[in-house]
């Protein structure tokens, strides 16, 4: 089960794995450039794989996270977002799950 302000959804294992793959890629990209940013500089990164699109937007220290899981045949679509610092806490929890 994941959720944010005004929304919640129960994920399948495959959906959670898709989100984890995409958030891992985005966090790696962010880490690669974050140290070179000035404090006031903003960054926006996007990644799309399979049925999952995700973006990170923010500065060197804080960032928000948005995602869309597009429906496949007979599946539902899910869209959600987290503000800073909830984004970092959610990503850390997702990466720690034993999927």
Residue-wise pLDDT for 13-57, tens only, equals 988 999 999 999 999 999 999 888 898 899 999 999 988 999 999
Q: 38-55 burial string, b = 16+ CB within 10 Å, else e?
A: eeeeeeebebeeeebbbb
Sequence spans of domains, the chain: 2-96
Phi, psi of 13 (to 5 degrees): -60, -40
Q: Contact at 8 Å (CB) between 35 and 29? A: no
Q: What is the pTM of this model?
A: 0.88
Note the CATH number of domain 2-96: 2.30.31.10
Residue-wise pLDDT for 57-73, tens only, equals 999 889 999 999 998 76
Q: How far is CA 44 from CA 12, 33, 54, 91, in A?
A: 28, 11, 11, 17
Closest CA to 45 of 53, 54, 37, 56: 56
């Amino acid at each position: 089960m994941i959720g944010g302000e005004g929304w919640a959804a129960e994920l399948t294992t495959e959906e959670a794995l898709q989100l984890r793959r995409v958030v891992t890629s985005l966090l790696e990209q962010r880490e690669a450039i974050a140290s070179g940013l000035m404090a006031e500089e903003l960054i926006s990164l996007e990644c799309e794989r399979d049925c999952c699109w995700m973006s990170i937007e923010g500065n060197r220290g804080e960032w928000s996270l948005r995602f869309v899981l597009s429906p496949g045949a007979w599946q539902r679509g899910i869209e959600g977002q987290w503000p800073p610092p909830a984004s970092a806490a959610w990503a850390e929890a997702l990466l720690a799950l034993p999927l």
